Structure 1
Amino acid sequence: MKTNKIVKLARQYKRKYPKVDFVFLTTKKYSQSEARYKNETGYSRAAMRTKFSTGFVSMVFALDICDKVLVYGISRDDFCKKNPKAKVPYHYYEPKKRSECFFVKKSEMNYKSGHKFLTEHAMFARWSTVRNITFRYPSWNGSEASGRVGSYYLKKYKNTLGKTLKSKKG
């Protein structure tokens, strides 16, 4: 933590803004999150070449310190599939920029890097079946989720992985 540039930057800001508290995932919590991700998806984040989104990290923090979590700005993992022409902006402060569906799909289908938002949203839905999580704006119920997380990305990833393994054997 002494050499990480983000931590160094936070320390600089702490000196400049002493009333602001900066919070980071501990190594233990990060490892637990990694294990949970692999358990729920069947793959490590390294294998999937993804990073935790700020939404994922925020959800982990919230679940650690709150009995009830109200979530705003996170749609169901199937929102774009059911609403392909939705014009919901990805960032509320950039309403004329790319839509959530464009950005999420582009990121979800990037096999080299990026966040897997839909995979994370499917995980949140599962968590809401055992924790007090309520999704608002858009409002939705996570209780329909069951079994292993199965986002579109994961299905494509498993299919691609299967073809790669078969070609290596042959």
Structure 2
Amino acid sequence: MKSVRLHWICLLLLSVCLLLWYNHVMRTGLSMKTGLRGYVRVHPNTRSPSYLLDFRCGRCAVVSSSGQMLGGGRGQEVDQQDCVIRMNAAPTVGYEADVGNRTSLRVVSHTSVPHLLRRQGYFFGREAETRYVIWGPEKNMRQDGKGKTFNALVMLAKKHPHTHIYTVTREKVQDCDGVFQNETGKNRMKSGAFLSTGFFTMILALEMCDSVLVYGMIDGSYCSLANHSLVPYHYYEPSRVDECRMYRSHEHAKRGGHRFITEKLIYSRWASQGKLRFAYPPWSP
């Protein structure tokens, strides 16, 4: 009897172990397959499985880095949303009353990664729970050891293993190029334009959020108004160039410019579908 009881106990323990193993495999497999395609997590070991960005929210606040945020006092309103999405290395410390304090996700250009490297204590200490989505050209993001930006992200992942860093895949960047061409009728590369971080941010926000409130973004015709206000391009760089001046110079650049004004006209059309709303400054599509 004792041997029979021991036999059944062993079978039970084996069954439990198999069940736990199966659940682990299923969870791992699902986390690799579910989530938003086009956004892949960076691991310290580049041979690790590719995990997609599995992050969804109800109502999101997309906070622009524009000087339009200064003096608006919308910080508390921003922080009340389910998720707060910011861009590049825009700080919150010292600007909480206007831009809020919470950061759920940052969309970061390859050109802003050096800012993350210089202020690791802030971005991966104070904002340790923040997810980072990094976009850039293939030459910088390639994973064969020659991608300068990707190599820096792997280093960050090794130093801060609990940090959630994702890259925008080459295919996703091409999809965004296709969106720009469908909306404007112009090939992005042939027109000499580079998509802005704001463009990638708006596409991601519409994918991951049920509704999107945009803060600090003016409409495409704002800079043509004779009485438009002069604000800095970035709220945290008050002495730098005026926002509208920056927009106009980029809009008409033959090579290497962001089409900020054109992109805002695109956002306006997207807003007419009801999921996207410009909360501050308030304007209707």
Q: Are residues 1:54 and 2:197 paired?
A: yes
One-letter code of the match for 2:167?
A: F
Shift of 1:88: 1.4
Asked whether the equivalents of residues 104 and 118 of structure 1 are also in contact (C-alpha less than 8 Å), the reply is: yes
The reply on whether 1:94 has 2:237 as its aligned counterpart is: yes
- Matching residue of 2:249: 106
Q: Which has the higher strand share?
A: 2
Q: Normalising by the residue count of structure 1, what TM-score does the alignment of the two structures yield?
A: 0.77
Question: Could you tell me how far 1:28 is from its partner in structure 2?
Answer: 2.9
Q: Does 1:129 align with 2:272?
A: yes
Aligned equivalents of 2:230, 2:204: Cα separation in 1: 30
Tell me the equivalent position of 1:79: 222
Q: Give the aligned residue type for 1:100.
A: E
Unaligned runs of 5+ in 2: 1-141
Deviation at 1:65, TM superposition (A): 0.7
2:249 corresponds to 1:69: no
- Residue 256 of structure 2 aligns with an amino acid whose one-letter code is S
- Aligned counterparts of 1:6 and 1:131: Cα–Cα separation in 2: 36
**Equivalent in the alignment of 2:62:** none
- Pair 1:45-2:149 in alignment: no
Give the conservation status (yes or no) of the 8 Å contact 1:86–1:99: no
Farther-moved stretch of structure 1 (83-92 vs 29-38): 83-92
Cα displacement (A) at 1:44: 0.8
Q: Distance in 1 between matches of 2:218 and 2:250?
A: 15
Q: Secondary structure at the match of 2:278?
A: strand
* Cα pair distance change 1:54/1:23, threshold 3 Å: same
Work out whether 1:10 is the aligned partner of 2:153: yes
**More helix, by proportion:** 1
| Residues 49-96 of structure 1: per-residue CA shift (max 9 Å, x gap) | 111111111111111111111112221000110155521111000122
Structure 2 distance, partners of 1:83, 1:7, is: 44
- 1:24 equivalent to 2:167? Answer yes
Structure 1 gap segments, 5+ residues each: 143-170
| 1:107-144 CA-partner distances (Å, limit 9, x unpaired) | 111112210101111111111112511112222112xx
Cα separation, partners in 2 of 1:126 and 1:15, compared to 1, 3 Å = same
Structure 1 residue matching 2:164: 3-state secondary structure: coil
**What is the root-mean-square deviation of aligned Cα atoms in Å?**
1.6
**Identity between Structure 1 and Structure 2 (%):** 33
Change (3 A) 1:126 1:7: same
Aligned-partner SS, 2:277: strand
Q: TM-score scaled by structure 2?
A: 0.47
Q: Per-residue CA shift, 1:24-50, capped at 9, x if unaligned?
A: 222332222111111111111101111
Larger radius of gyration: 2
Q: 1:83 to 1:136 in 2, by over 3 A?
A: farther
Letter in 1 for 2:209: C
- The CA distance in 2 between the partners of 1:20 and 1:139, in whole Å, is 35
